[in-house]
Chains A and B, each alone.
Chain A
Amino acid sequence: MISKTKMEKILKEILEMSPADQTEVLLISQNSALTRFANNQIHQNVAEKNAKLSIRVIKNKRTGTASTNILNKSSIKGVLEKALKIADNASPDPDFKSLPKKKKCTKMELFSKNTAEYQPIDRVKDVSVLISKANQKELNAAGALSTGEITIGIANSLGVFEITSLTEADINTVFMSSNSSGYADSYAKEVRKIDFHKLADTASEKALKSIDPIAIDPGSYTVILEPAAVADMLTYLAFCGLGALAYQEGRSFLSGKLGEKITGGNITIWDDGTSPDTLGMPFDFEGTPKQKVMLIENGVAKNVVYDSYTAHKDGRESTGHALPAPNIYGPQPSNLFLKNGDYSVDEMIASTKKGILVTRFHYTNMEDPLKTMLTGMTRDGTFLIEDGEISCGIKNLRFTQNILKALSNVEMISEETKLKQASFGFCLAPALKVKDFNFTGVTEF
């Protein structure tokens, strides 16, 4: 890893060296490792040490960016020269006002020594918990456990100078019988807080309960979506419309609809990268402090998230949601929250005469971003609910569903929430009971 002291030195040197009107330097250093298992044995086991230096310069409203992972002096100088040359060739952007100025960031403890120092043999011990359980239940376990540390430094010529270190541990697993499967996952800053026994129990129980699935006809069903499925849905919702660039370009489902009711009154969604309940960070990739942004409140569209460029365009302040420059996606929510309710999943099941319980989705994709029309498959634990009880596993179904309509049809929300991975970060999601969810196809398993 590049030490914080060395990182500070590199950032300062580049800022001093740059003749540009404004300069931004992003330096990321990371050590990561991942152990993959399948067929009840480890089949892939890897480690990586890497870094990325990215320099963005602005000259007369012309922007140039160049990056490298070669961090000797001549390479750094070469990258700066390349960025300057690019800026010379770029056309001026009248909408560019300025890189952000320094603002005070919240202090956050994001680092775990245990996770950073986790060894290959430690990961094997954790994975063996899952494999032992699978062997004991005559199931086949697959999955991946990753651990890693990352240090992010961002500085600019207007005084922004932030460095933070964080760790992350992720585990996902699928337990399979010959015709069924069950899924469980967990994400944490501190690897030792992950309960591998509980994950093994969840995955094995789902796999065993869904053995010999029956096929049901596609159609409109009441559905109970567990947090992984909810998070998947919200991730696409965020990507398609909760960032300011999509909003300003008119391709967001929120464009022209802020202040309008777009979902049921029981839906409140916000983004908060500084919450201790998620794996966030104090600042974005421009060094701006992350703010809590209310996106949908009691069903009413409230806000989108901003970086400095889109904020200037709307005469607003950045909300601290910039991705590394240059990026074609614009600012993105990276730590989503969906407000929880009062129920347990068991109560949701008990209240359902006929419905479907979904563990997670697979290969979801937006068919129409403006209408939030999403399709995808169910996977790894799909069950039929009859008369308030899970009656059997069912073969996986394809859904084609308008997300905002689904969020207008939410009848119950679970009290318990779970942290799930999202495309640009994480999502803390409850389970949802949704009526009239459209399943449009069925597969053969």
Chain B
Amino acid sequence: MEDLINLSFNTAKTHGATYTDVRIAKFKTQSIAIKNGKVEEILDSESYGFGIRTIVNGAWGFASSFNVNKREVQKIAALSCNIAKASASLKNKSVILSPVKPLKGNYETPMTIDPFTVPLEDKLSILSETEEIMRKKNGVKISEASMNFVLKDQIFANTEGAWIKQKIMMSGAGIEATAIGEGDMQVRSYPNSHGGQFITGGYEFINTLRLKDNAEKVADEAVALITAKECPSKKTTIILDGSQLGLQVHESIGHPVELDRVLGTEASFAGTSFLTPDKLGHLKIGSDIVNITADATIPTGLGTFGYDDEGVPAQRTDIVKNGLFVGYLNSRETAAETGQLPNGAMRADGWNRTPLIRMTNVNLLPGKPSFEELISDTKDGVYLETNKSWSIDDKRLNFQFGTEAGWEIKNGKIKRMLKNPNYTGITPKFWNSCDAIANEDSWIVWGTPNCGKGEPMQVIQTGHGTSPARFRNIQIGVGK
């Protein structure tokens, strides 16, 4: 590998590069899904290749290939420089990278059991037994159970002297029951929707999920939702469960603090951000109890790693402190542009993509009351659980989320179930209405394995540590 990397550096230099970095990576993936008593998917896949990023004449170029050999490395390094030269012919300013210490390092996701060593029949057995419990419930028409594992094995090096090896393992699993009847369709999932819960870690995590123990409850609730009362349309107090709140943090805080969006480079696709630089240190984005960090160092977070794809070490950054907006996620380039220090948020979803600013683990820090106290302290409201749909405008202000289930809260107690709940709001107003966050006993780092951004599209894994929280005077039941 060292030969190939040095060859890429030398080739790029002869083509005018003033900076070069290389990533050589292999991705190994296993997806298993059981549906309605049958194997829906078992897929083992791998992807191997390299990408070379260069700066020539003050502009970026990037090229990549799946042919990992000397001749191809020379061709791709030259192509990357050729692309950079073309970029330079249409630039207003030169790329400047904020200086970082070139690091030599090695990081591996801590784990006990490598998922790829676990026999397929063991995984199928857990999934089949779990799925069968849901399938046997009257009214359940679709029952699904799945597991996913991804290993990213990568070397990063740059011409400043950085040389970093990383092995990052993602493990996840989930179950879902769909009830159909009376002209309606209702879904319940566990531990989360969209495939379940995901972490960085090994197969030992799967056993902690207790999928089988939760299958009956999931099936029961899906069926119960068919005859549940429709969520009313009104302004009320809502309590969001941790998984839904994780997505709320993701969409309304995580994306708007990506500095590339803020500076306009995602404008045509994902959009820009309401958190313009003049608001840094000035906008009260949330109530005093709202504290949010971006932290790539916490154990098991799906956005946990050793170094980002520019060789910047994983770190914790304050994003919101006592309700005040205080920090962005950045890259070496955007840090230099705005006078900040790089905070390690540049990641690519594969060897064939150039890195973008991505969320790490963007976490809402826990508050004081227990979850039970949060409920008992609420006279009238709705508890909303598990994301079903999500939508937010291109500056990340107006959002609307739907959840799988809702429950009335009356005089401090959870009462009857509500179906088709949704809620809407404007980001700063919403976070300023937060008056209670549950404590660390119910704080979980939820994994979002499918965050899309960029052109060509890149799908990355992010984490969101949250505990349930309460928001006042929120519009629910939109479109009823």
**Do A and B make up one complex?**
yes
Q: Which residues of A contact B (CB under 8 A)?
A: 32-52, 54, 62-70, 82-83, 85-86, 89-91, 93, 95, 119-121, 123-124, 127-128, 131, 140, 142-144, 146, 172-174, 176, 183, 249-251, 326-328, 362-370, 373, 375-377, 379, 396, 398, 400-401, 438, 440-445
Q: Which residues of the other chain, A, contact B388 by a CB distance below 8 angstroms?
A: 367
Q: Which residues of the other chain, A, contact B266 by a CB distance below 8 angstroms?
A: 38
The answer to whether the Cβ of B215 comes within 8 Å of any Cβ in the partner chain is no
Q: Which residue of A lies closest to B48 (CB)?
A: A70
30 of the cross-chain contacts (CB-CB < 8 Å) are A39-B263, A42-B59, A44-B60, A45-B83, A46-B61, A47-B79, A48-B65, A49-B66, A50-B64, A50-B65, A65-B41, A67-B45, A85-B120, A86-B43, A89-B42, A91-B128, A121-B86, A127-B90, A131-B90, A142-B268, A143-B268, A250-B141, A328-B40, A362-B271, A365-B390, A368-B185, A370-B183, A373-B479, A398-B398, A441-B478
What string of 1s and 0s marks CB contacts (under 8 Å) between B394-412 and chain A?
Answer: 1101101010000000000
The answer to whether the Cβ of B87 comes within 8 Å of any Cβ in the partner chain is yes
What string of 1s and 0s marks CB contacts (under 8 Å) between B239-271 and chain A?
Answer: 000000000000000000000000111111101
Cβ-Cβ contact count across A and B, 8 Å cutoff: 257
Contact B41 A326, beta carbon cutoff 8 Å: yes
- Given A49-B66, A90-B39, A443-B395, A174–B268 Cβ distance below 8 Å? yes
Q: Which residues of the other chain, A, contact B43 by a CB distance below 8 angstroms?
A: 65-67, 86, 326
Contact A364 B44, beta carbon cutoff 8 Å: no
User: In the complex, what's the smallest C-beta–C-beta distance from A235 to chain B, in angstroms?
Assistant: 15
Contact A146 B268, beta carbon cutoff 8 Å: no
List 4 additional A-B contacts (Cβ < 8 Å) besides A46-B353, A363-B393, A377-B393.
A143-B268, A174-B268, A362-B393, A440-B478
CA distance A67 to B183 in the complex (A): 40
CA distance A309 to B456 in the complex (A): 31
CA distance A50 to B390 in the complex (A): 32
Contact A45 B87, beta carbon cutoff 8 Å: yes
The answer to whether the Cβ of B448 comes within 8 Å of any Cβ in the partner chain is no
CA distance A328 to B34 in the complex (A): 10
Q: Which residues of the other chain, B, contact A131 by a CB distance below 8 angstroms?
A: 90
- Given A39-B264, A45-B83, A443–B66 Cβ distance below 8 Å? no
Contact A146 B87, beta carbon cutoff 8 Å: no
CA distance A445 to B393 in the complex (A): 10
Contact A363 B63, beta carbon cutoff 8 Å: no
Closest 4 CB pairs of A and B: A400-B479, A120-B86, A443-B398, A142-B267
User: In the complex, what's the smallest C-beta–C-beta distance from A228 to chain B, in angstroms?
Assistant: 13
CA distance A327 to B398 in the complex (A): 33
CA distance A47 to B36 in the complex (A): 42
Interface of chain A, main secondary structure: strand
- Given A362-B394, A440-B478, A34–B424 Cβ distance below 8 Å? no
CA distance A235 to B98 in the complex (A): 43
Contact A172 B424, beta carbon cutoff 8 Å: no
Contact B86 A377, beta carbon cutoff 8 Å: no
CA distance A124 to B91 in the complex (A): 11
What string of 1s and 0s marks CB contacts (under 8 Å) between B117-141 and chain A?
Answer: 0001100100010000000000001
